[in-house]
């Protein structure tokens, strides 16, 4: 055998990727397509902030993977480039799911260091943020990304109330709020306390699912930036777009491209074939499942595991097993069931059971094996 690797085969130090980072979840694309209307509405809402006034509040809605976070990141970058009078902070509510931790994040964004770990009262935490704003005469724009997680913990109303009424306690504090929800079943305004509803009159910006031609267009751009030329043919791209459109989530498509590329490399191939995509889809289709699981506490994971093991059996048995493993009572059990239901991990329906009245039937929203594999 000669020194040259076979034609069409990768040598060990080559890659199909030009830049693998292009396929990561937190990558902000340079060109942001098919969201001109939404971007315009958001820019309009923030315009007063650039002039030093309180911006309009906004509710951004749309299913996962429709460009909501990217739109906000691009907008915040733009505002930052234009003026230093506005401080923008994006809070990931899946990570910061209580009012206190949201404000810890705001503290960190304001002072560039974390609040003392010894714990300081919420009032003090809030006071320091507001005083700093007034002192610097800056406008604060807060994006509560995936606020649905604050609702699942019953923290949304308190958090918003504090932000929206800040100027009453700290005259001169100017705060605008962009609320982002990726749970189509959640009616943000409806679920808030009336005391919040009366001060929260947001603009509404909706992000619909991308259609197939738009998906092709967006993925094509990623392919150009992320892969070497000729790695992915038109037919393969169309197939990826088809699977992505089926899921309604652009992130599935981006993850598919990355995994299919890795599969091609495993075969030492210079091109990604349909089979690489098919194999990758077995993992990529569960990207939302993995994302939901990553935010669960140990107790929540335990209950999900029990539900998976008892899939389709009596809810009473699930509670017994959960109680045996965690020693937690029915109230906490019931709260977690609601949260797992809201996260779309399980379906909790009330069913009439012979002679026993109504009972809850709990079933998984995903294949049992897929859930148990990922919980391990």
Closest to 178 in 3D by CA, of 110, 91, 52: 91
User: From CA 343, how far away is CA 266, in angstroms rounded?
Assistant: 35
What secondary structure letter does DSSP report for 254? H
Q: How confident is the model at residue 357 (pLDDT cuts 50, 70, 90)?
A: low
Q: Do 284 and 309 belong together in one domain?
A: no
User: How does pLDDT run across 177-186, given as a tens digit for each residue?
Assistant: 999 999 988 9
pLDDT of residue 326: 95
3-class DSSP state for residue 176?
strand
Would the pLDDT of 4 be above 90? no
Q: Please report whether residue 331 resides in a domain.
A: yes
DSSP secondary structure, 265-279, as one string: HHTTBSSB-HHHHHH
Q: Which phi and psi (to 5°) does residue 68 adopt?
A: -65, -50
Would the pLDDT of 286 be above 80? yes
pLDDT of residue 356: 54
Q: How confident is the model at residue 353 (pLDDT cuts 50, 70, 90)?
A: low
CATH of the domain at 354: 1.10.10.10
Q: Do 199 and 325 belong together in one domain?
A: no
Q: Do 171 and 52 belong together in one domain?
A: yes
Binding site listing for ATP: 66-70, 210, 222
Look up the pTM and report it. 0.88
3-state secondary structure string across the chain: CCCCCCCCECCCCCCCECCHHHHCCCCCCCCCCCCHHHHHHHHHHHHHHHCCCCCCCEEEECCCCCCHHHHHHHHHHHHHHHCCCEEEEEEECCCCCCHHHHHHHHHHHHHCCCCCCCCCCHHHHHHHHHHHHHHHCCEEEEEEECCHHHHHCCCHHHHHHHHHCHHHHCCCCEEEEEEEECCCCCCHHHHCCHHHHCCCCCEEEECCCCCHHHHHHHHHHHHHHHECCCCECHHHHHHHHHHHHHHCCHHHHHHHHHHHHHHHHHCCECCECHHHHHHHHHHHCCHHHHHHHHCCCHHHHHHHHHHHHCCCCCHHHHHHHHHHHHCCCHHHHHHHHHHHHHCCCEEEEEEEECCCEEEEEEEECCCHHHHHHHHC
User: From CA 25, how far away is CA 31, in angstroms rounded?
Assistant: 16
Closest to 27 in 3D by CA, of 205, 208, 225: 225
Would the pLDDT of 103 be above 70? yes
CATH of the domain at 231: 1.10.8.60
pLDDT of residue 239: 97
Q: Please report whether residue 144 resides in a domain.
A: yes
Overall domain count for the chain: 3
- Mean pLDDT over the full length of the chain: 92
User: From CA 237, how far away is CA 215, in angstroms rounded?
Assistant: 10
Q: Please report whether residue 12 resides in a domain.
A: no
Q: Please report whether residue 122 resides in a domain.
A: yes
User: How does pLDDT run across 122-168, given as a tens digit for each residue?
Assistant: 999 999 999 999 999 999 999 999 999 999 999 999 999 999 999 99
pLDDT of residue 311: 81
Q: How confident is the model at residue 317 (pLDDT cuts 50, 70, 90)?
A: confident
CATH of the domain at 176: 3.40.50.300
User: How does pLDDT run across 13-69, given as a tens digit for each residue?
Assistant: 789 999 999 999 889 998 899 999 999 999 999 999 999 999 999 999 999 999 999
Q: Which domain holds residue 235?
A: 20-24+210-293
Q: What is the CA angle 295-184-96, rounded to 5? A: 30
Q: Please report whether residue 322 resides in a domain.
A: yes
User: 307 with 365: CB under 8 angstroms?
Assistant: no
- The interaxial angle of helices 156-164 and 99-111, nearest 10 deg, is 40
Q: Do 109 and 66 belong together in one domain?
A: yes
Binding site listing: 66-70, 210, 222
Q: Do 274 and 307 belong together in one domain?
A: no
Strand duo 86-92 + 346-353: pairing: unpaired
Q: Do 173 and 225 belong together in one domain?
A: no
Q: Do 100 and 231 belong together in one domain?
A: no
Q: Do 87 and 138 belong together in one domain?
A: yes
Q: Do 267 and 153 belong together in one domain?
A: no
Other C-beta atoms lying within 10 Å of the C-beta of residue 186: 16
Q: Do 113 and 138 belong together in one domain?
A: yes
User: How does pLDDT run across 169-206, given as a tens digit for each residue?
Assistant: 999 999 999 999 999 889 999 999 999 999 999 999 99
Q: How confident is the model at residue 5 (pLDDT cuts 50, 70, 90)?
A: very low
Would the pLDDT of 316 be above 60? yes
pLDDT of residue 157: 98
User: From CA 78, how far away is CA 369, in angstroms rounded?
Assistant: 44
pLDDT of residue 228: 96
Q: How confident is the model at residue 1 (pLDDT cuts 50, 70, 90)?
A: very low
Q: Do 311 and 238 belong together in one domain?
A: no
Q: Do 195 and 224 belong together in one domain?
A: no
């Amino acid at each position: 055998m000669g020194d040259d690797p076979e034609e069409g085969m990768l040598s060990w130090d080559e890659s199909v990727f030009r830049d693998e980072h292009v396929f990561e979840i937190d990558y902000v694309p340079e060109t942001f397509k098919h969201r001109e209307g939404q971007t315009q509405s958001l820019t309009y809402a923030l315009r007063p902030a650039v002039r030093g006034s309180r911006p309009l509040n906004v509710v951004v809605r749309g299913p996962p993977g429709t460009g909501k976070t990217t739109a906000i990141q691009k907008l915040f970058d733009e505002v930052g480039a234009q003026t230093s009078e506005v401080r923008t902070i994006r809070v990931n509510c899946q990570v910061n799911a209580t009012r206190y931790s949201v404000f810890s994040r705001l503290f960190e964004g304001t002072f560039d260091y974390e609040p003392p770990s010894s714990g300081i009262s919420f009032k003090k935490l809030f006071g320091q943020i507001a005083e700093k704003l007034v002192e610097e005469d800056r406008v604060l724009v807060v994006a509560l990304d995936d606020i649905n997680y604050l609702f699942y913990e019953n923290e949304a109303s308190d958090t918003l109330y504090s932000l929206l009424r800040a100027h009453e306690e700290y005259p001169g504090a100017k705060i605008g709020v962009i609320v982002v929800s990726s749970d189509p079943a959640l009616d943000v305004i409806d679920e808030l306390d009336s005391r919040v509803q009366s001060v929260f009159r947001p603009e509404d910006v909706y992000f619909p699912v991308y259609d197939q031609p738009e998906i092709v267009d967006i993925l094509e751009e990623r392919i150009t930036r992320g892969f070497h030329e000729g790695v992915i043919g038109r037919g393969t791209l169309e197939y990826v777009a088809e699977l992505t459109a089926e899921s309604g989530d652009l992130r599935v498509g981006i993850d598919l491209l990355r995994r299919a590329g890795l599969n091609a490399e495993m075969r030492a191939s210079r091109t990604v074939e349909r089979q690489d995509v098919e194999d990758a889809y077995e993992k990529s289709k569960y990207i939302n499942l993995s994302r939901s699981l990553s935010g669960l506490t140990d107790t929540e994971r335990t209950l999900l595991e029990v539900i998976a093991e008892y899939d389709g059996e009596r809810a009473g048995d699930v509670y017994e097993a959960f109680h045996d493993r965690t020693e937690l009572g029915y109230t906490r059990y019931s709260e977690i069931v609601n949260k797992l239901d809201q996260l779309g991990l399980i379906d909790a329906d009330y069913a009439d059971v012979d002679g026993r009245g109504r009972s809850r039937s709990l079933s998984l929203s995903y294949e049992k094996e897929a859930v148990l594999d990922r919980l391990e």
